Chain A
Amino acid sequence: MAAGTWQRKDLLGIAELSADEIRLILETAESFSQVAERPIKKVPTLRGKTVVNLFFEASTRTRSSFEIAEKRLSADGLNFSSSGSALSKGESLIDTALNLQAMAPDLIVIRHGAPGAPHLLARRLDAGVINAGDGAHEHPTQALLDAYTIRQHKGRIAGLKIAIVGDIEHSRVVRSNIHLLTKLGAEVTVAGPLTMLPAAVDRLGVRVCHRLEDAIAGADVVMMLRIQLERQSRALFPSTREYFQLFGLTRERLKAAAEDAIVMHPGPMNRGVEIASDVADGPESVILEQVANGVAVRMAVLYLLSGAGEEGV
């Protein structure tokens, strides 16, 4: 495995990665995906390494995905969550970090509601920091697993038409995906209610549509985003019913996409709000594959950042 080109201590976002670095992670993930097919799903690669999972926000999916990845690499995983620990007692992020430093972990996986929180840690700590979602900023491993899944089905990313639909502004998934997919040469279109489209989003190199139908016309990949239902109380959209009428992905609407289009969703889904059940469970859906690929991609990231690459798998 060609790990020699990986130079970074941290994985904070996709924005700062080069296309080559992204490809290296995806290729590394490919070799790790075979581990899941073995009868004993475990390799000794990270034996003796300590990985701290620092989750300031609940996220069952991302968290269990990282934990499984760590176990499969034989790393010692240590979990801190915001309930029942110092994190909920008003201790500052910096103090938490300094306490962790004292335990000398090799890697820290952090999920935090504030954009930039992983960057703050990375500046202070010797340990490698992996951003597992910082507010509405980046969620790099999600974008990597999405790209991995797309490549699995389409064989490539370059030249694909990819539509991302939903709450663009508050999604932690969308920015990382925009950076990654455009860096690898895809044509990305975003669509959503105007109250959920961030300012100057076109400056990120994407086409902006105001209608779902326009966004998915001819698309090879349709990526639906989760609607945070509490947004409704802030009057960003009038009702889930109206939202589904305008931006819900139905079988009928999906006909506008390319014939072999795949449908993705970062989960967890609101069925009947952003996506109809028969689409979520239909033949175009790769949603469960995304979950499976998440483990391989996270194994690759842990492996590359741990510096284990020099010794080989």
Chain B
Amino acid sequence: MKTLVTGGRVIDPSQDLDGFFDLLLEDGVVARVDESVSASDAEVFDAEGLVVCPGLIDIHVHLREPGEEYKETVATGTRSAAVGGFTAVACMANTKPVNDSRSVTEHILEEARRAGYARVHPIGAVSKGLAGEELAEIGEMVRAGVVAVSDDGLPVANAELMRRALLYAQHFDIPVIQHAEDLDLTGSGVMHEGEWSTRLGLPGIPGSSEDVIVARDLILLEDTVGRYHVAHLSTGRSLAMVRRARQAGLRVTCEVSPHHLLLTDQAVSDMEMSTATKMKPPLRASTDREALLEGLADGTVDAIASDHAPHHVDEKDVEFTAAPFGIVGLETTLSLCLDRLVRPGVISISRMIELLSTGPARVLGIPGGSLAEGRPADVTVFHPDRSVTVDAATMASTSHNTPFDGWKLKGAPVCTFVAGKKINP
């Protein structure tokens, strides 16, 4: 099967490419990128006025299958990904049962293949059952297809276990992804600790809850020479530590979520304690937000990841303190980035694509993130300034918990190609 994507603005940060090119997809790979490609037997996709880039990759999503299919399934989650312009997602291990074994990994991959909307890269658990005690069978899971390990949803709290994970994961050259949170410091906290938690009388989660774990892990990383990735990094202080550690030569990467880039803890008050503003880590102070934006621009941040965390409406339609943490994000991420980061000039469109594609691929060491010839024909096509209004009710995801409902944004996904095949979500 051949597809010729013509007339689009092709932006590929992996080869420093930005211009009007034709793109030939053949046999699942990128066959040619050139100013004018002719392939008479190819199906033509007219991309005039559109941007064509390496397929977007979200390295932090929760697909909820197996175990909580009423929140999301591999099929609905990957469909949501495709609608949002993502060609690949990496899904966290905190399913029921936990993805700590070959059989669960295989089940997820099988469901993903059957659905056919996007590639799925499972992330295995660090510890058996996410119990934080013994290492899971990481090698076995890697053979089955996991690309990283993480106890996400929970931190690896035990320093000794973290040290062992950083050492052991090196046998497979995969990163250990940390959900950096000190649960004692979090306590009963439900939002960022600061002026707004004080005004609302809601128990706070201090920034230090994240920072002390990042600090500890960076010390362990220095000793182990492993690969370490900070999930949903949310504080200025953690970011500064990552920046310094990288300058010192440590193999550390980090991701931030669109909501931490665009909202602050004040949103909890502005939205009258709507549970769509409740997530972990919580929306932070404006100084944290500014630091994260700086980290985007200066290269410290490797990836933007949605932390897509679907929850059922009945679970979210309760008092703020009683609601589960988490929001969905696959279908809003690209538009939010285009409208709120690229349009005001926080980052360039090419840097945005790096953060949503090339960077994530590099973090996990997975194929994709590039339109170089011979690479997988995973392509995202988007309209750089088409107007859209976020409508939670019509999302492809089973869940609708988003603080961005009703936002008017410019820039929207148009379609994706996975292995050269146009996806119709």
A265 interface residue per 8 A CB criterion:
no
Interface size counted on chain B using CB atoms at 8 A: 21
Whole-angstrom CA separation of A134 from B318 in the bound complex: 14
- Is the CB–CB distance between B198 and A116 below 8 Å? no
In angstroms, how far is the closest chain A Cβ from the Cβ of B376? 46
Partner of A119, one of B272, B318, B322: B272
Whole-angstrom CA separation of A55 from B203 in the bound complex: 21
- Is the CB–CB distance between B273 and A138 below 8 Å? no
Partner of A136, one of B193, B201, B319, B320: B201
Closest to A175 in B: B201
Whole-angstrom CA separation of A169 from B188 in the bound complex: 14
In angstroms, how far is the closest chain B Cβ from the Cβ of A113? 8
In angstroms, how far is the closest chain B Cβ from the Cβ of A232? 16
A158 interface residue per 8 A CB criterion:
no
Q: Which residues from B are CB-within-8-Å of A134?
A: 201
Partner of B320, one of A114, A198, A199: A114
Q: Which residues from A are CB-within-8-Å of B317?
A: 92, 94
A112 interface residue per 8 A CB criterion:
yes
Pick from A18-26, A27-35, A200-208, A284-292 the stretch touching chain B.
Answer: A200-208
- Is the CB–CB distance between B273 and A198 below 8 Å? no
Q: Which residues from B are CB-within-8-Å of A117?
A: 319
Whole-angstrom CA separation of A123 from B273 in the bound complex: 12
In chain B between 179 and 219, which residues have their CB closer than 8 angstroms to a CB of chain A?
193-195, 197-204, 206
Q: Which residues from B are CB-within-8-Å of A200?
A: 194-195, 198
B224 interface residue per 8 A CB criterion:
no
B321 interface residue per 8 A CB criterion:
yes
In angstroms, how far is the closest chain B Cβ from the Cβ of A120? 6
Q: Which residues from A are CB-within-8-Å of B193?
A: 199
Closest to A202 in B: B195
Q: Which residues from A are CB-within-8-Å of B201?
A: 115, 134-138, 172, 175
Closest to B320 in A: A116
- Is the CB–CB distance between A92 and B318 below 8 Å? yes
In chain B between 201 and 256, which residues have their CB closer than 8 angstroms to a CB of chain A?
201-204, 206
Q: Which residues from A are CB-within-8-Å of B319?
A: 93, 112, 114-117, 120
In angstroms, how far is the closest chain A Cβ from the Cβ of B26? 55
In angstroms, how far is the closest chain A Cβ from the Cβ of B335? 27
Q: Which residues from B are CB-within-8-Å of A138?
A: 201
Closest to B268 in A: A116
A229 interface residue per 8 A CB criterion:
no
- Is the CB–CB distance between B321 and A114 below 8 Å? yes
Q: Which residues from B are CB-within-8-Å of A123?
A: 272
Residue in B198, B206, B272, B273 with the greatest tally of chain A CB atoms within 10 Å: B198
Whole-angstrom CA separation of A114 from B204 in the bound complex: 14
Whole-angstrom CA separation of A116 from B195 in the bound complex: 17
A78 interface residue per 8 A CB criterion:
no
- Is the CB–CB distance between A199 and B318 below 8 Å? no
A43 interface residue per 8 A CB criterion:
no
In angstroms, how far is the closest chain A Cβ from the Cβ of B318? 6
Closest to B319 in A: A114
Closest to A179 in B: B199
Residue in A136, A137, A200 with the greatest tally of chain B CB atoms within 10 Å: A200
Residue positions of A touching B, CB distance < 8 A? 15, 92-94, 112-117, 119-120, 123, 134-138, 169, 172, 175, 198-201, 203-204
Can you report 9 A-B residue pairs in the complex whose CB atoms are below 8 A from each other?
Answer: A92-B317, A134-B201, A136-B203, A137-B202, A175-B201, A199-B198, A200-B198, A201-B198, A204-B198
Which are the 8 A-B pairs with shortest beta-carbon distances? A137-B201, A116-B273, A114-B319, A136-B201, A198-B198, A200-B195, A203-B195, A114-B321
Q: Can you add 16 more A-B contacts, CB < 8 Å, to A120-B319, A135-B201, A169-B198?
A: A92-B314, A92-B317, A94-B317, A114-B319, A115-B202, A115-B320, A116-B200, A116-B319, A119-B272, A120-B318, A136-B203, A137-B202, A138-B201, A199-B193, A199-B197, A199-B206
